[in-house]
Structure 1
């Protein structure tokens, strides 16, 4: 049996689509389709059921993928291991949310270019969770940090750390609503305060309101800036309240340039995941970055 055909088959199985598999393999979609048909003729069994969106493996195809994939991944690991000098200095394409990647991920990965001489070149892309996972699935990235856990077999996710969200504003807003006002009145105590957010849909504020107050916010955004660092700057300047990750606003809280408006017993958390294409941890550069970030994340929690 041709190993190239098996590799194409496993890629299609993981991707769930001939189109996506073609992008990952650097082939045209007709070439992938032809290879799968050739393998099906050799085996005398259908491997996939064609659907409007992608493909679904047959029972036989599913069994073959689970038997073949570990061996193909092992062959990739052997091949990459034989190119150790090259793989150690290869470029790692990383993607994730701009603030967390800039403040946490990139500083942690600078250790990979330490005094062992094995420099790791980095190329970084920022985007939403959906954009990041799509780019990873299509082969544009090697490793992604995402707030969404991917579905399916193409991508594998490992929990990295939890991020605590806090409700903050400049001190004069806290003075305006009065001490204990939020504890006594709940969300209505905040209805007259302007809101600073990253999007018109108020994703962080809405999630906080649902988790802490069991309701939806009754206001719209006053300032919308698609970067949490810009949101923090606006809050410090007095533009209104915001929900921000504690790691990002901790220095401002320590300086008292902003204050928390409410401290719930159980604060809302958001989980970050390290995501790779299934089998990619056999690549030394990806595996090293993956392990390094997991070690660094111990101090972030």
Structure 2
């Protein structure tokens, strides 16, 4: 029995590291020292016979084995936590809008524990401006928006998305590294782009932030889903700027490579947006999401 409890403790620590992207943050949340958390991780990796994280300057990066383990054990540990420390029952339906990629990868897993407290969710996927219009007209209760809304809304910063410029290994080999240091936009302008839309919103933001100019690159593929953008990049169609939470597994696997390393990573704030006086169920959802440790996005 003692060994089973120890195994469970290791998995709880693993999940804190995975979700927070940091051994230090996991130690704080678990009330343990950093060496103790590192020791638990080392023991779990030894039991599994595989590394779970790659350590870096900004924390740790999950390996494919860690991604698989988190998918398998995460929901069960969340259920166990809910059973041992149940939240007050809140009834009602909350209509939430968000980007398909973020909601699929992070939003829906974050909301799932609330379904066991009596809440029901209706999810609308789409672009931020369309979702904010739906919130304004009363068709949505909450929007998770990558665009800061104008007057008439209440916007609470939720987390920051970090964007990475990535490309397939074969295209990465064509970049002149000396020119990349001196004039990165010129060094990269021969690379075709894979974009989310014809307006190149994420790519233009990256170029403007890091290079101070618009991209001159040809556009090879336009597809309105960042997961499909990543798939096209992996297949060799071109390069793109993507949120870290989407690009990280492919970087770890070697399917894509980092093309540019900025001194300060470009960030975009994600907001939790409501309007008017939210109902109790909406307030419960907002509090749950704002207090969550989102880790590295």
**Matched residues in 2 for 1:262 and 1:299: separation?**
22
Runs of 4+ in 1 over 6 A off after TM superposition: none
Partner of 1:294: 290
Please state how far the C-alpha of 1:298 moved relative to its aligned partner.
4.3
TM-score computed with the length of structure 2 as normaliser: 0.67
The question of whether the paired residues in 2 share the 8 Å contact of 1:170 and 1:240 is answered with yes
Partner of 1:128: 127
Q: For residues 201-280 of structure 1, what are the structure 2 equivalents within 5 Å?
A: 201-280=199-278
Q: Supply the RMSD in Å over aligned alpha carbons.
A: 1.5
3-state SS in 1 of match to 2:228: helix
TM-score computed with the length of structure 1 as normaliser: 0.66
**Matched residues in 1 for 2:182 and 2:256: separation?**
21
3-state SS in 1 of match to 2:197: coil
3-state SS in 2 of match to 1:262: coil
3-state SS in 1 of match to 2:95: strand
2:171 is aligned with 1:169:
no
3-state SS in 1 of match to 2:174: helix
Please state how far the C-alpha of 1:131 moved relative to its aligned partner.
0.5
**What are the Cα deviations for residues 27-75 of structure 1, in whole angstroms up to 9, with x where unaligned?**
xxxxxxxxxxxxxxxxxxxxxxxxxxxxxxxxxxxxxxxxxxxxxxxxx
Paired residue total: 209
Partner of 2:62: none
List runs of 5+ in structure 1 lacking aligned partners.
1-86
Partner of 2:77: none
**Matched residues in 2 for 1:238 and 1:296: separation?**
36
Please state how far the C-alpha of 1:123 moved relative to its aligned partner.
0.8
**Matched residues in 2 for 1:151 and 1:185: separation?**
36
Greater C-alpha Rg: 1
Partner of 2:149: 150
